[in-house]
Every structure is written in C-alpha cells, then in structure tokens.
Structure 1
Amino acid sequence: MAISEIDGWQVGLNVDDLAEYAKAEGAEGYDVHEVRLCRCASCGGRVFGLDGDLTEHTARRTCRGCGAEHFIADSGEYWQDRKAGVMVCECDGDADEEDFNLAVGYSLYDGGDGIRALAITSRCVACGRLGYWDDWMIRGGDLHLLELA
C-alpha cells in the first residue's frame, strides 16, 4: 500500500490502496472491519462511474468496461425517490462524471453478527485522489449486504 499526500489530497497508486483508506476513514464514526473492493459481476472490471442521492443514501455504480449497473447495498430499494447526482473529482473541474475504483467499508456489530454502517470510498483513475461518496447506518444489520458492494 502506498498512500501519499499531494497538494493536501490523499493519493493512492492503485485500487488496493482503497482498503487501507476505507479502514482509516471509518463509516458513520465507527471502525471499518470489512472492506469489499468493487468488481463488475459481468466482466470483472474495476473502473466505474458512480451516481446516487446523498440525502436518500443511494448509490449505483456503472462499469466502464461493459456498462453493467449495480446498486450498492440496499440502494435499489430506495432508488425511485432519488435525486440524481454523479461523483466527480476535483482534478477535472468540468463536473462531468469521471472514472473511479470503488470500495465499500463495513462497520460490524460486536461479534460480527450484523452490519452497523457502511461507507463508499473511491480512487480517481485519472489522478489517484482518494475520497468517499457517502456513508450511512444499516438499520437491519443484514450481513448479505457485504456481498452487494
């Protein structure tokens, strides 16, 4: 892992730096115990666009390789009420959607019997800047959401 700081931004060299970054950032103020690096189920790609609603806590990633869309965690259940927004990076400056590596960090309850919160972290493919899209509490604690990164 090789996270560095450039011009006040944390920067990662590759997608693997996201796991370290997600654990350092936490989720809703809680420690992150599990990290899932996002990979397209259709083609295996690791570069995505991300859109969603920060108020409703929804997120959908779109694979840049094949165009497959995937809701993160339980976002699909709340998607119809979302207000569109796309993830952008400061490096571009034109507010167009950029390409990202993505990971989801999960905070688990003591004993690991449920998810307390999650956080979506990102690495800009163009400049390597690390950041996050959103984090939210998981009220039901459903462990199956670990596989919906």
Structure 2
Amino acid sequence: MVISEVDGGLVGENLEDLAEYARAQGAEGHDVHEVRLCGCASCGGQVFVVHGDLEQHAARRICRGCGAGHFIADSGMYWDDARYGIMVCECDGDGDEEDFNVAVAYSLYTGGAGIRAIAITSRCIGCGRLGYWDGWMIRGGETHLLDLA
C-alpha cells in the first residue's frame, strides 16, 4: 500500500490503496466496517464511468469493459428523480467522462445488524488521485446493499 500526497491531493497506486482510503474517509461521520471494491457483475471489469446526483444521493457506475450499468446501494430507488452529472478528476479539465476504480465504504450498526451509512470513493485511472464522490445514511439498514457496491 502506497498512498502519497501530490499537489495537495492523495494518490494511490492500486485497488488496495483505494480500499485503505475508503476506510480512512469514514461514512457520513461514522467508522467504516467494510469496504467493497466495485467489480462489474457482467464481465468482472474494475474500471467505470460514474454518474450521479449528489442531492438525490444516487449513483450509477458503467463498466468501461462491457458497458453494463450498476446502481450503487439503494440508488436505483431514486434514479428516476435524479438529475445526474458525471464524476470527473482534476487531472482532466475538459469534463468528459473519465475512468475510475470505485469502492463503497459501509458503516454498520453495532453487531453488524444493518448498514448505517455508505461512502463512495474513487481512484482515477489516469493519475491515481483518490477522491470522495458522495455518501448517505441508509435509513432501513438493509444488509443486502452490501452486495450492491
């Protein structure tokens, strides 16, 4: 694991660095108990474009390998009302879709009785910059959302 600071931002070299960054960021002010690195359910790819609505707390990742879309956590419930934008990195000033590794950090209730909050983090494929995209509370604590990273 090698996370370094470059030009005021944190940079990681690999997926393990992204997982460590996700743990350190927390989830809506709560400790992270589990981190899931995102992988495409269709092809196993780990590079994505991310669309989301920060007000609706909805995010969808699209696999660069096969084009399959996957909602993150409970985002599918809010997607119809979303006015989404794309996740971009500071290394590319044109605002085009960019490629990221994505990890979802989960804060669990005591004893693992459910999910309290999540945080979506990323690692830019182009420059390695680690970043925080969005996070939200999970009101019902649904543990099946662990499988929807």
Shorter-chain TM-score tier: over 0.9
Please, which runs of 5 or more residues in structure 2 have no aligned partner?
A: none
TM superposition score normalised by structure 1: 0.99
Q: Deviation per CA, 1:91-117, whole angstroms, max 9, x where unpaired? A: 001111100000000000111111000
Residue correspondences, number: 149
Shift, 1:146, TM fit? 0.3
- The question of 1:31 aligning with 2:46 is answered no
* Whole-angstrom CA distance in 2 between matches of 1:101 and 1:113: 28
Shift, 1:15, TM fit? 1.6
Q: SS at 1:52's partner residue?
A: strand
Shift, 1:39, TM fit? 0.3
Partner of 1:4: 4
- The question of 1:73 aligning with 2:88 is answered no
Shift, 1:132, TM fit? 1.2
- The question of 1:131 aligning with 2:131 is answered yes
* Whole-angstrom CA distance in 1 between matches of 2:78 and 2:5: 36
One-letter code aligned to 1:71: F
TM superposition score normalised by structure 2: 0.99
Q: Which runs of 4+ in 1 moved over 6 A?
A: none
Please, which runs of 5 or more residues in structure 1 have no aligned partner?
A: none
Partner of 2:147: 147
* Whole-angstrom CA distance in 1 between matches of 2:127 and 2:46: 16
Percent identity reads 74
RMSD: 0.5
